[in-house]
Structure 1
Amino acid sequence: MAAPGELAGLGSLGATEAMSVAEALSLPAESYGNDPALELAWAMKAYQHAEVYFNLISSVDPRLLKLTRLDDGIYTTFRSEFPDLRIDVIDPEDLKSPAAKEKWRPFCLDFENRVEDFNYGTLLRLDSSKEYSEENTIFTTRIQFFAIEIARNREGCNDVVYSHRHKGAGK
């Protein structure tokens, strides 16, 4: 993950440029080659999502959060398909190895028409007790992010983030 300062370049865009970036991001991936400006825009969008999500789990008891209208179904399917997957600290091989990709593919495709932007790139913390950082971040699909973060919220893995923020506030 790029450092926040490296992604801040998009923050200086005016309204017209920001609208152009937003419009470009809505086009199919096949419309582009390896456009560095577009890659930066995608990285910025993923970073902003990560920042908003981390602030959310820092501010609201994660066990009370509902991330999608399908949280129950996502969680049930995830734990049915991946009952032993360790979610407090993710091993990147559990997401990226060829065998893992084969196992994840049907899970992800199951949500193709039910979760908006199910396959968009999203940043996921490897260690749920830590903040987003270059060392603690992996790029996943949005449905993988939802599955793991819904499970982390329900199983108490994100409690440490919330507790840490509120312990500091009480001093």
Structure 2
Amino acid sequence: MEEALGSLGMTGMGAAARALTTPADKYTNDQNLELGWAVKAYHHAETYFNLASSVDNRMLKLTAQDDEIYKRFRECFPDLKIDVIDPEDLKSAPAKLKWRPFCNEFEGLVEDFNYGTLLRLDCTEGYSEKNSIFATRIQFFAIEIARNREGLNMGLFKKQDKEGSSS
């Protein structure tokens, strides 16, 4: 630790000290950074939805760790209702206490495991302002892998298949 601080030099250590002692409310979010994050989250959601609507999603692999994610998810959340998610099951204080250890298990295993992404609340509907919530990427993977394996997303594929064949 001391070596790392020493490598900053006097100027770097001064800047670090100021940053660490500045009250959090004095920091502002960079709007360009927030916009970039929102665009990335939207593209991720759009790509996933198009994929889940286009193939038999019961066999869809989202990560190399799908089996492990699904197994741990259902061990930790055996009764979590995932067809229509109650935001409280993700965002309430008691829910966060359960989700945090689960999510942290995948640090280093799932790329960007704690990045924010969009999650559909009702699995029979697409992304919309009313049907989307911000979640961590590993929460998204856990819930969508479970929805796929448990056949809950098949309505997307069948709906798209029916619309495609009637054109």
Question: What does 1:101-120 correspond to in 2, within 5 Å?
Answer: 101-120=96-115
* Identical amino acids, percent of aligned pairs: 68
Residue 147 (structure 2) pairs with residue 147 (structure 1) = no
1:92 pairs, out of 63, 80, 87, with: 87
Deviation string, structure 1 residues 17-46 (Cα, Å, up to 9, x no partner): xxxxxxxxxxxxxxx841111111100000
Residue 63 (structure 2) pairs with residue 75 (structure 1) = no
Say which SS state the counterpart of residue 124 (structure 1) adopts. Answer: strand
Deviation for aligned residue 1:170: 1.2
Say which SS state the counterpart of residue 101 (structure 2) adopts. Answer: helix
Distance 2:130 2:100 in 1: 25
Distance 1:64 1:50 in 2: 19
> How much is the aligned-residue C-alpha RMSD, in angstroms?
0.9
Q: Any unmatched runs of 5+ in structure 1?
A: 1-31
Distance 1:64 1:82 in 2: 22
Q: Which has the larger radius of gyration?
A: 2
Distance 1:33 1:156 in 2: 43
Deviation string, structure 1 residues 102-159 (Cα, Å, up to 9, x no partner): 0000000000111110000010000000000000000000000000000000001100
> How many residues are aligned here?
140
Q: Any unmatched runs of 5+ in structure 2?
A: 1-26
Question: What does 1:127-146 correspond to in 2, within 5 Å?
Answer: 127-146=122-141
Report the AA paired with residue 75 of structure 2.
Answer: S
Report the AA paired with residue 116 of structure 2.
Answer: G
- Number of the residue aligned with 1:57: 52
Could you state the TM-score of these two structures normalised by the residue count of structure 2? 0.82
Report the AA paired with residue 96 of structure 1.
Answer: K
Distance 2:81 2:156 in 1: 18
Distance 1:170 1:59 in 2: 13
Could you state the TM-score of these two structures normalised by the residue count of structure 1? 0.80
